[in-house]
Amino acid sequence: MNIFLHELKAYRKSTMIWSISLILVVVLFMSLFPAFTKDVTEFKKLLEGYPEPVRKALGMDLNTLFSILGFYCYALTFITLCAAIQAMNLGTSIVSKEVREKTADFLLTKPVTRSTIITAKLLAALVSLVITNVIYFAAASFMAFQVKTEDFSFQTFFLLSLTILFIQLMFLAMGIIISVSVPKIKSVLSVSLSTVFAFYFLGVIGSTTDDEAKRYISPFKYFDTSYIMEKSSYEVSFLIVGVVLIILAIAASYRVYSKKDIHAV
């Protein structure tokens, strides 16, 4: 419990910074919605000038873009990118920071098992992400009700917002396995940014085609916002694959960390 509270306290500042950052992004996008819908015809003509693959890559569906939920889906393209970086940062630093700060051997001399250590760290990171999402969702909901031009399904809005947390969990798990596998990570931010942007651009490239299989490559494409808006649910196959990948990555992290050699300072 002491490790959990210590980690949670250590994440306090970054949690607030990322929460505020996500709020600023959603406020910026949603505040543009009233102006965006003032002249729908002109905006449609402008956007139709862009090639369809480009519109797909940017998450622009002209059939729904001018509704509050459709515009929110477009904003999510960028919001999830920022959220994924936060999660990847947390995951990558879970174990690597002990090696980098030369406190790993000190921590392991305490009367706790390695599984207890990584569990406490993982729970602290998870709580940090949940807090961020709760704060973000409150702000996003407030903005949606402020700028809406017609009624919308709050259930669908909630499901769309919840995709942020699901994507974060996948990158958190990915960060953890990297953290316990790589002997020493000099810069967490550089690893996080390169990994997140690599998957983001893979998702962008995959979205320009109609090949469903390519969607499995990038976590950013596991949740089709058009499908969520139409069905008010997630695609079961992608949800199952996402959960399995998270479980496998975390299980592998426990196994690797339990057998990992920790060099003394």
What was the pLDDT predicted at 137? 96
Please, which pLDDT band fits residue 62 given cuts at 50, 70 and 90? confident
Please, which pLDDT band fits residue 100 given cuts at 50, 70 and 90? low
What was the pLDDT predicted at 259? 78
Distance, CA of 165 to CA of 162 (rounded, Å): 5
| Most confident residue range from 28-37, 44-53, 193-202, 253-262 | 193-202
Distance, CA of 262 to CA of 180 (rounded, Å): 11
pLDDT value at 52 more than 80: no
What was the pLDDT predicted at 139? 96
What was the pLDDT predicted at 113? 78
Q: Which tens digit of pLDDT belongs to each residue from 128-185?
A: 999 999 999 999 999 999 988 888 899 999 999 999 999 999 999 999 999 888 877 7
pTM, two decimal places: 0.89
Q: Which tens digit of pLDDT belongs to each residue from 229-257?
A: 988 899 999 999 999 999 999 999 888 88
Q: Which residue has the tokens 């700028």?
A: 147
